[in-house]
Structure 1
Amino acid sequence: MSRRNSAPYSTKQGSSLLPHSDASRPERQHYLDYLRALLMFMGIPYHVALAYSTQQAWIVQSEERSALLSWAAQFSHTFRMPVFFLIAGLFALMLCQRNPGEWWRSRLVRLGVPLIAAALLINPLTMLSSALWQAQPGEVIQTWIGMLQTPGEPWVSHLWFLIDLLIYCTVLVVLWSMRDLAPARYVAVRGAEFLDRHVWAPPALLILSGFVSLASVVVLKLLDLNSAVHGMLVLSRTAAYLPVFLCGAALILRPDWLTRFTRVHKGMWVVGLTLAVVQAAIQWRDEDIYRIGTYFLMPIVGILFAHILMSAMRMLCNTASPMVQTAVASSFTVYLVHEVFVVYGVLMFLDTGVPVLMQFVILTVVTILLSMAFHQWLVRPSAVMRLLFNGIPIRRKSRAVEHAGAAPATPGR
């Protein structure tokens, strides 16, 4: 295929696959911002529910358990982070096209700094709560110091998704840098034409993502690389969610793909909901057959649920709202700090006799309010705190501004 006779990354329909131009890039839609923020806020009821789960141990655990909350946590776990990764992939390719190298370096700051800050400032406090819950009164400090001296999952806890995002962004930049290679152009063009020509191709690709996820996990298991860095990096989970992230990035390659993906298809809604229930029923079981099913379903349920939520939000929530924008602006901070409020709230409710569901509601609402207050009162007014918890670089005043005594504008997210 010569460049002279065929435009790079074009299809018979004439829709560009965007290798060099931003002309056909989809405009940033409100519903995508709202959905991304909603998924971050959903981490609060999910972690509160884990404290009362009958299926999974967590940082602290109430003596009172709830099968209902356990199932709610399991169900939300099937789609919350996969859908978040798909939207992250969509925004990632949208933003990295102009200068991939510069964009990747900015991701190191925007994701890496909050990762390190929250790991060092927030997670030691959650480890203290675990020591208070587990240890005898006279052994709490000793137990806590032992936790602080031991590298492992508690240092990462709910921050694992930032590590995975850094890995995914690196993969995306490498793939995007190969776009001008003749084999890559050929595969992109022929692949797009194939998807347009055969109605069964997208469902087949969806099923293929499940097999890719499962095969990746099997290979990592055989190589004894299921986890790394003292369990702080779960490579099997990273591999299972990678197809979802790349699916989100692929939606930007053609303007009509995102439009078609966010159009309501009732049959896909039924299939997505059904498979999510199946995954929720098997994902915490230890038998190999259930683990195989879980890893196979992870990207499939994630992509299908992304369609469900994105099509619903596009239909219902695609207009600007100052109140929602405030929630969107605070969502990253809220997710980083919320665990502290949850774990100590659970400890405060121990032996109180308050009904479990009432505890769940109170903890969820109070945690949301305290986390948003943390952002509004401590993070938003301070350039240093915005750097630590939002990864927004500190911008120096220009000399002219300094001499004029004017305050610098708040850096945008």
Structure 2
Amino acid sequence: MITAPTQREYFLDSIRAWLMLLGIPFHISLIYSSHTWHVNSIEPSWWLTLFNDFIHSFRMQVFFVISGYFSYMLFLRYPLKRWWKVRVERVGIPLLTAIPLLTLPQFMMLQYVKGKADNWQNLSVYEKYNTLAWELISHLWFLLVLVVMTTVSLWIFSRLRRQLSRHAEDHFSTITFTRLSFIFLILGIAYGVIRRTLFMVYPPILSDGLFNFVVMQTLFYIPFFMLGALAFISPKLKALFITPSPWCAVGSALAFTAYLLNQKYGSGNAWMYETESVITMLLGLWMVNVVFALGHRLLNFKSKRVTYFVNASLFIYVVHHPLTLFFGAYITPHIASNTLGFFTGLVFVVGIAIVLYEIHLRIPLLRFLFSGKPQNKAENLNATQ
């Protein structure tokens, strides 16, 4: 059996934190992009649209690989039921905390900002439920998906431990990025087939918020989650990711170009989303190499400053969304320059989020609610996501 390594994976901690924090410029740039969001600037910015698309095209795929890696590491550390309890608490408690404290007030604010408050009473029961599902889960969807993946992994990880742990390298002796790319191509096509089938049989299901998060997002990201677990099991596979590959860099650039072309010329009523699933499945795989290789070279060290943001990243990400929407609704209209507005938004959101983080550190109950860890362990806020 593989035991958890004693050496801290500093570069993976750092990458995970920065990927989460990258959600802040992603959402602020969304205000100034050509994509329709809750709040938008009067005129879109081409470079902020490009920047937003770049972040969106790969960020969560790489994040879920790291989540799978650390999840399997903890799986080997705890008994099965204890592992599930620890993992669900660490992501589920912050999710349940943020809904009444953050996304519900955010939803109420948006109702008035968008002038829809008076229309709420005219919605059907299902329309109210579905609106609340989308708006209350909001940017916290990945926490819900992690709860689902953790539950599913009770069975999957148990089988992995029995079948792969003793002779892991025998199963990965011939693994290459060519083979992985072919597998993820098939997975992207399979996801597209599932989505197209649902679209043909019962289109409204794809607009259901809870179904989208629990089923569709889980189906898309679980291959990356499992890939992370396999990277923990197999040093060869991990080495494949942290060794720079020019082909992965070139493939990522080409895939991102294809992503942009699909965004510009694709049609939601045609095959745009199915095509996107294939592109982003491959792009995500190749960007794992790009990000891991760079991170292993540049971020594989211990630093108090980096550790601070590793510990703070989940809290800052959770609270940044309503701050971003507040900025977009009430401050953006008073800033003529999109570029100035973007950087002002970064200072505004990150600054307030850090202040709130420092305040919450001094209140034991809030530390527990936003970390999912017992208060006597709250000092060690480097929980795996």
Interval of TM-score (by shorter of Structure 1 and Structure 2):
0.7 to 0.9
Contact 1:262/1:307, CA 8 A, preserved across alignment: yes
Aligned mates of 2:189, 2:170 — CA distance in 1: 23
**What does residue 34 of structure 2 align with?**
54
Aligned mates of 1:144, 1:371 — CA distance in 2: 31
1:213 to 191, 196, 205: 191
Aligned mates of 2:139, 2:251 — CA distance in 1: 29
Residues 194 and 204 from structure 1, CA distance in 2 versus in 1: closer, same or farther, beyond 3 angstroms? farther
Aligned mates of 2:314, 2:175 — CA distance in 1: 40
Of 96-105 and 203-212, more deviation after overlay is shown by 203-212
**What does residue 281 of structure 1 align with?**
261
Aligned mates of 2:97, 2:119 — CA distance in 1: 23
Cα-to-partner distance string for 1:359-397 (whole Å, 9 max, x where unaligned):
0111012211211111112x21222101211112234xx
Tell me how large the CA RMSD over aligned residues is: 2.8
| SS of residue in 2 equivalent to 1:196 | coil
Give the letter for the 1:332 counterpart.
L
**What does residue 71 of structure 2 align with?**
92
2:182 to 204, 207, 214: 204
How far residue 238 of structure 1 moved from its aligned partner, in angstroms, is 2.2
**What does residue 153 of structure 2 align with?**
172
Contact 2:68/2:226, CA 8 A, preserved across alignment: yes
**What does residue 103 of structure 1 align with?**
83
Q: Which runs of 5+ in 1 are unaligned?
A: 1-19, 396-407
Residues 67 and 144 from structure 1, CA distance in 2 versus in 1: closer, same or farther, beyond 3 angstroms? farther
Give the letter for the 2:19 counterpart.
L
Give the letter for the 1:279 counterpart.
Y
Structure 1 position 386 matched with structure 2 position 367: yes
By relative contact order (CA 8 Å, sep 6+), the higher-ranking structure is: 2
Aligned mates of 2:261, 2:323 — CA distance in 1: 29
Aligned mates of 1:308, 1:26 — CA distance in 2: 26
Structure 1 position 376 matched with structure 2 position 358: yes
Give the letter for the 1:82 counterpart.
Q
Residues 288 and 219 from structure 1, CA distance in 2 versus in 1: closer, same or farther, beyond 3 angstroms? same
Residues 160 and 312 from structure 1, CA distance in 2 versus in 1: closer, same or farther, beyond 3 angstroms? same
Contact 2:332/2:341, CA 8 A, preserved across alignment: no
Aligned mates of 2:120, 2:362 — CA distance in 1: 32
Aligned residues: 371
Contact 2:368/2:375, CA 8 A, preserved across alignment: yes
Cα-to-partner distance string for 1:59-104 (whole Å, 9 max, x where unaligned):
2222232222122111210111111111101111111123232111
1:270 to 220, 245, 250: 250
Structure 1 position 155 matched with structure 2 position 145: no
Contact 2:199/2:206, CA 8 A, preserved across alignment: yes
Contact 2:188/2:281, CA 8 A, preserved across alignment: yes
User: Which of the pair has more CA radius of gyration?
Assistant: 1
Cα-to-partner distance string for 1:93-123 (whole Å, 9 max, x where unaligned):
1111232321111122111111111111101
Aligned mates of 2:364, 2:339 — CA distance in 1: 39
Aligned mates of 1:362, 1:53 — CA distance in 2: 16
| SS of residue in 2 equivalent to 1:156 | helix
Contact 1:213/1:299, CA 8 A, preserved across alignment: no
Aligned mates of 1:333, 1:145 — CA distance in 2: 34
1:77 to 34, 56, 80: 56
Give the letter for the 2:181 counterpart.
P
Give the letter for the 2:173 counterpart.
D
Contact 2:242/2:289, CA 8 A, preserved across alignment: yes
Give the letter for the 1:323 counterpart.
R
Structure 1 position 253 matched with structure 2 position 233: yes
Structure 1 position 366 matched with structure 2 position 348: yes
Aligned mates of 1:65, 1:211 — CA distance in 2: 33
Aligned mates of 1:65, 1:288 — CA distance in 2: 26
Residues 119 and 84 from structure 1, CA distance in 2 versus in 1: closer, same or farther, beyond 3 angstroms? same
TM-score (norm 2): 0.87
**What does residue 34 of structure 1 align with?**
14
| SS of residue in 2 equivalent to 1:123 | helix
Contact 1:216/1:236, CA 8 A, preserved across alignment: no
Cα-to-partner distance string for 1:316-340 (whole Å, 9 max, x where unaligned):
1111111111111110000100012
Aligned mates of 2:164, 2:296 — CA distance in 1: 32
Structure 1 position 45 matched with structure 2 position 22: no
Q: Which runs of 5+ in 2 are unaligned?
A: none
Aligned mates of 1:82, 1:145 — CA distance in 2: 39
Aligned mates of 1:82, 1:152 — CA distance in 2: 23
Query: After the TM superposition, which residues 110-121 of structure 1 pair with which residues of structure 2 at under 5 Å, given as runs?
Result: 110-121=90-101
Contact 1:383/1:394, CA 8 A, preserved across alignment: yes
How far residue 241 of structure 1 moved from its aligned partner, in angstroms, is 1.4
**More helix by percentage:** 2
Identity %: 24
Contact 1:122/1:337, CA 8 A, preserved across alignment: yes
| SS of residue in 2 equivalent to 1:178 | helix
How far residue 342 of structure 1 moved from its aligned partner, in angstroms, is 0.9
How far residue 220 of structure 1 moved from its aligned partner, in angstroms, is 4.7
Contact 1:123/1:156, CA 8 A, preserved across alignment: yes
Residues 198 and 60 from structure 1, CA distance in 2 versus in 1: closer, same or farther, beyond 3 angstroms? closer
How far residue 26 of structure 1 moved from its aligned partner, in angstroms, is 7.7
Residues 333 and 248 from structure 1, CA distance in 2 versus in 1: closer, same or farther, beyond 3 angstroms? same
Residues 342 and 31 from structure 1, CA distance in 2 versus in 1: closer, same or farther, beyond 3 angstroms? same
1:317 to 288, 299, 310: 299
2:326 to 335, 340, 344: 344
TM-score (norm 1): 0.81
Residues 330 and 185 from structure 1, CA distance in 2 versus in 1: closer, same or farther, beyond 3 angstroms? closer
Residues 81 and 312 from structure 1, CA distance in 2 versus in 1: closer, same or farther, beyond 3 angstroms? same
**What does residue 236 of structure 1 align with?**
216
Give the letter for the 2:25 counterpart.
P
